[in-house]
Every structure is written in C-alpha cells, then in structure tokens.
Structure 1
Amino acid sequence: MVMDFKSIPLIDISALLEKWDHPNVAQDEGVAQVVRQLDHACRHAGFFYVKGHGIPISLMEEIRSVSREYFYQPYEEKIKIKLSAATGYRGYQRFRENITKGIPDMQEAIDFYREVKHGMYGDLGEVMQGSNIWPSNPSKFKKLMELYIDLCTDVSRKIMRGIGLALGGSADEMEGKIAGDPFWVLRTIGYPASSILDEHDKANDVVGCGEHTDYGLLTLLNQDDDIVALQVKNKSGEWISAPPVPGTFVCNIGDMLKILSNGIYESTLHRVINNTPRYRVCVAYFYEPNFDAAVEPLDVCSQKTGGTKSFEGAVYGKHLVSKVLNNFVM
C-alpha cells in the first residue's frame, strides 16, 4: 500500500554520524533506527528534515546572513560576478534569469560548482569548465562558503551511507564509481517580498521557483527560520508546506537516487512561493554522483522490484549539462 504524507518527517541522524565509519555500523541499534526512518521518509515523501547533523547552527545562520548581505547590494556590484557560458555557468543571475520548465523564476541567485579543470572528463566536462567566481563583498563570503561546502559534503556522504543501508545494500553502496569522488553544487538564492510582484506576474503565476525535481543524489537546504515558502507535492497532488525548523536542514532526494533505487525512492516535485512581505534567503547544497558516473539501478534494488531495471542508465554529467543549458536566460 502506498502511503501519502501530510507533513515532512524529522530525523535525528546523530547516531549515524557517530558510528558512520564503524565496521559493524549496520548492527548498531541507534543506526538501525535512523536507517528505518530514512527508508520510510524516502519511500513515502522523498523529503525529510535532519537534526543532529553536527554543523553549527551559528554557521548555518551566518551563511544565510552573508548571502543576504550580498543580495542587498546595488545591482552594479552584484553583476560583477555575472553568470555566463564563459564562467562555466558559475556566478550571479538576477530576477527572471533562472528558468524552470520554460517559465522565469522570481529569484536571484549565485551558482557555485565543484571546479572542473580544462580537459577533465573530456568533451563531457567542457560546458562546466571553470573555477568559482567569488564576490569581494562581503569579504568573508568565500572563506565561509568553502568551509560550509566541506561540512555539507561530509554530512551528505554519511547520510548516503545510511541510505545505502536503507536500500538493503552496504554502507559503501554509493561510494566507488557512483559517488566516491562526488560532484557538488551550491546555490545561494534570494526571493523578493510578494509586494514587488506586479499584476502581470500575479496573472501569469510567477513564483519564486516553479515545480521541479533536483538532479543528483541528495539536497541539504538551509532556509530562513521564520518564512514559510517551500512546498512539496504529495502523492495525492496536494502541495504540503515545509515550514522552517530552526537548526535543521530540509533534505530531499534527486533524480540520480531515483534511478539508483530503481524507483523505490522518488525524487519529489517541489516549488517555492514567497507570499510574505519579507525578502527570503535560502542556501541549497546539492550532493551529486561522480561527474562521469554512469548511473543505473543498483542490483539490490532491481532484485527488490522483480528483477528488472525500470530505468535506463544516465551519465550524471550529461544530465547536469542538459539541464544547465536550458536553465538560464543568457
């Protein structure tokens, strides 16, 4: 029986993080409880909150604060790090330059990707070649974000170990050729107050971000503590709010994990509508497979679903590039 969901589950992953490198991690009862919760959340919602992740709440707040400080600058300052094909699609986009399913989003953002050096991944990596371009103001922006990326990468890897166990595989199921050398994306996003929308925007259902799924394995979303804007679609087609829970990340699974799980786990549609009179900031970290990973259903998941693979394989980097090339007004 397929269960619907009316709210997003909350999971304390501290036991998983404490035991993540233990040789008998799967036999620990605290870890087993987390694994059961992860499995339930991924099967029925595709979304969950995590606490006990070990990243200081003060750092999560500071990451949002420096993002807001950047976005509050004059446009002439922000455009100094403008996104373009020449930057490997890294940099700043102003309002309506991000496109979701053909519709401009009411958001501004900066995109950062793991560095792709010239010649890495051959032709596959050509579009994404480049290094991140960091704003000079706030002066501590780069240092804070690089620390934050390292911490998010570490936490995500450990959550994926739990998800490997939840699928009936080993804790190392997502390592090696799948995500032993993970790509990552960091996106800092600002959503304007609803009061700036004109009648044309409202008539055409312009929203902060249109409904979509994420591309990779796992997303960690750090959102403002006091603005409700993120919505998740349940299996009945209802939009369920994911209100902020201070000190937690909102996590969701992406397209590549849907393929790996052979559809046991779903990459759930979500959107952002900021109907409040306040500017909203969130910072999304995306934990991805190896850039050149050939992603296909895991054997353990195929066995659970009748022995057949429901999805054709996908090369992650090719999937990412196809999305990037259609996501921006250049």
Structure 2
Amino acid sequence: MASTLEAVRVSNSALPIIDIGGLSSSSLTDRKAVAERLRTACLDNGFFYVVNHGVPGDLTDALFAQTRRFFDSSDATKSAVDKRLSFCQRGFEPMRAQTLEAGAPPDLKESFYIGPELSLDDPRVIARRFNHGPNLWPSEMPGFRPVMEAYFSTMLELSRKLMTGLALALDLDEQYFAAYCTHAHATLRLLHYPPQPPNAAPGEKGAGAHSDFGGITLLLQDEAGGLQVQGKSAGEWIHATPVPGAFVVNLGDMIARWTNDRFRSTVHRVVNASGRERYSVPFFFSGNPDQEVECLPSCLASGEVPKYPPTTVEGHLREMYRRTYK
C-alpha cells in the first residue's frame, strides 16, 4: 500500500478511553470529573473512546447483523430503497457516490441513511425542512426496521447525555444545550467498505479525508479497523484501533464553530487495509435545526473576535451538504 495511506499506531493516551458512567451519577462532582476528561480530549484532537455508556451489547450485535445482511442483499433489494427515491436523504447510496476529499477519487464505500421517522403529513415535512421526512425500509427484511429504530432511540439518549458533559466541559450549566437537544435531528448511517484494492487509483480510499458536519459523532466499528485520525504533525495519521465495547466519539464542525475552534473538529479518513469487508455505523447528532449557533462568549479570549458569523443548525448543515454533494 502506498505510504501516503499509512498510519501510525499509538497508545491510548493519544486517543483516550473515557468512562462516562459518572455522567449518570447523582453527584455533580462525579459528573464534573467526567467532564474534565472530556475537556482535555476536546482541546487536544476532539477524538476519544467512551465506555460504560449503557448501550446493550445485544443491540449492537443485532445492529451489525442487520447491517451485514442488508449489504449482502441483492441489487434489487438495494435499488428498491435507493436514496434517489427520497427527497430527504434517506436510503441506499451505492459505491463511489460521495467524494469527501476534494481532488480525490470518489469514496470506496456504500451506505444506507436513516433519520427520524416523520410522516408525510408532518408540518416539517410539508414545509420541506432540510432532511426531514420518512425513511425507506427494505420490505424483504422485516427485522431491519425495529432494530434500527431501537438503536436510533438509544443513541439519541446517549447523545443528550454527552452534551451535558460537554456543557460542563465548557464551564456552562450542564443543561445549556437542552434546547439544542430538543426535537433533535440526527442521522444513522450504515457503512460497508470493501478491502482496499491493490490497484487503487491514486488517492482512492474508503472515505476521503474530512471532518464531520454536525455536533457529535458516535461511531460503532467492527474489528477490521481502518479509521485514521489526522495527527498534529504534517502528514501524520493515527490509527483509531477498534476497542471492544467502546464507541469512538468525535466532534463535528458545528461544535468547533460554536466554540471558536477551541474544541477541535479533526480531519479523519478510512483506509480498509484489513483484506476483508469492513462495516461501521456512525450516528451523527446534529441537534435542533432551529438552534442558533453563535460563538460562546466563554470561548473568546480577551480581545478575540468570533471566526464565524452566526447561523442555525439547519443553515450550517445545508452549507456542508453543498460542499460534498455537488
């Protein structure tokens, strides 16, 4: 494999493992102790693992089983739920449909998008709010929808819990992001990466170098590995090695914008050098589309000015989508 796609393996001190059980404690001291570890990770590179998160192992096992089953299904099954049939970015996206890294070949992955289930008569759908609407479900897989909906609901709760920790990490009231977490929008994305081909086009990889769009991402990855995080030195990439039972959490561009880049949204990519199929499931928590996103005064040093103009969650996401889907 070309050296430009290689990464180094480092200790967990670079990508820390954080026990977040204390966020559920009745003791503010316990919750602040977790927040302090979150603060350190967010100021460093914005990538970390979380354990003791409360998500049942049997649910994640079922999630992966349904994910593999879908991507192993026939072309006809996939075509019936093609994302082109959706007006709200839901359903199946074929191989090489997205280009996350400018100037690189299209990404070597296929995916399936799921969001909050909204009926066609929902006022937000009638108004054609950005990415609001019904999901597409494969009719030949009756067990698929209930597993995905159960996981989606569980991850919404975990995301809200993490946002209370981030509020404390920013020296804010822990309910500061409560409105942001109300009527929150999120995207569950199932991903399948074939092995990196030996004759890949220059720069071709599973997912090109990019930072995530929204608030926080909670990634469940299988044992194949392949996620690489950009280090602080030029050209350095760090393996985010799979940790059993842990989620990889990273901050998106919106949190960086909110904090005037004090908390980092770090570039990352996927290179599946395992020689076998890779599956991963990121959960992108974006928050309330109407939430105003303006630099937090506490994140401005004396005399510093905001780097970004005020916007809303929806406004920010629209701009991000325009960049990667021409």
TM-score in terms of structure 1 length: 0.87
Q: State, as a whole percentage, how many aligned pairs show the same letter.
A: 32
Measured against aligned partners, the alpha-carbon deviations of 1:60-81 in whole angstroms (never above 9, x if no partner) come to 1221111011101122211110
**Whole-Å separation in 2 of the counterparts to 1:183 and 1:127:** 10
Match of 2:186 among 173, 184, 187: 184
Flag structure 1 segments of 5+ consecutive residues without an equivalent.
Answer: 20-24
Q: CA deviation at 1:301?
A: 2.1
**Whole-Å separation in 2 of the counterparts to 1:109 and 1:256:** 23
- What secondary structure, in the 3-state scheme, does the structure 2 residue paired with 1:32 have? helix
Q: CA deviation at 1:327?
A: 3.6
Q: What letter is aligned with 1:153?
A: L
What is the aligned partner in structure 2 of residue 120 from structure 1? 124
Is 1:109 aligned to 2:107, yes or no? no
Check 1:143–1:174 CA distance in 2 against 1; reply closer, same or farther (3 A cut): same
Q: CA deviation at 1:306?
A: 4.3
What is the aligned partner in structure 1 of residue 270 from structure 2? 272
Q: CA deviation at 1:100?
A: 1.2
Q: What letter is aligned with 1:15?
A: G
Q: CA deviation at 1:135?
A: 1.6
- What secondary structure, in the 3-state scheme, does the structure 2 residue paired with 1:252 have? strand
**Whole-Å separation in 2 of the counterparts to 1:289 and 1:9:** 25
Q: CA deviation at 1:139?
A: 1.9
Q: What letter is aligned with 1:14?
A: G
What is the aligned partner in structure 2 of residue 10 from structure 1? 17
Check 1:36–1:6 CA distance in 2 against 1; reply closer, same or farther (3 A cut): closer
Deviates further, 166-175 or 99-108? 99-108
Check 1:233–1:6 CA distance in 2 against 1; reply closer, same or farther (3 A cut): farther
Q: Conserved in 1, the CA contact under 8 Å of 2:225 and 2:278?
A: no
Q: What letter is aligned with 2:142?
A: S
Measured against aligned partners, the alpha-carbon deviations of 1:226-279 in whole angstroms (never above 9, x if no partner) come to 212000002213100001001000000011111121211010000001012111
Q: CA deviation at 1:120?
A: 2.2
Q: Conserved in 1, the CA contact under 8 Å of 2:81 and 2:138?
A: yes
Aligned length: 310
Q: CA deviation at 1:145?
A: 0.8
Q: CA deviation at 1:87?
A: 3.1
Q: CA deviation at 1:17?
A: 2.1
**Whole-Å separation in 1 of the counterparts to 2:83 and 2:206:** 19
Q: CA deviation at 1:325?
A: 4.4
Normalized per residue, which structure has more helix? 1
Q: CA deviation at 1:323?
A: 3.1
Match of 2:154 among 151, 154, 157: 151
Q: CA deviation at 1:328?
A: 4.6
Match of 1:248 among 239, 246, 249: 246
Which 4+ residue blocks in structure 1 deviate beyond 4 angstroms? 115-119, 304-307
What is the aligned partner in structure 2 of residue 45 from structure 1? 45
Q: Conserved in 2, the CA contact under 8 Å of 1:221 and 1:250?
A: yes
Q: Conserved in 2, the CA contact under 8 Å of 1:85 and 1:127?
A: no
Is 1:227 aligned to 2:224, yes or no? yes
What is the aligned partner in structure 1 of residue 233 from structure 2? 236
TM-score in terms of structure 2 length: 0.88
Is 1:82 aligned to 2:82, yes or no? yes
Q: Conserved in 2, the CA contact under 8 Å of 1:7 and 1:242?
A: no
Deviates further, 112-121 or 207-216? 112-121
Measured against aligned partners, the alpha-carbon deviations of 1:169-228 in whole angstroms (never above 9, x if no partner) come to 11011122x33331111100000123xx363xx23221100011111111110000x212
Q: CA deviation at 1:316?
A: 1.6
Check 1:129–1:154 CA distance in 2 against 1; reply closer, same or farther (3 A cut): closer
Deviates further, 209-218 or 86-95? 86-95
Q: What letter is aligned with 1:156?
A: S
Flag structure 2 segments of 5+ consecutive residues without an equivalent.
Answer: 1-11
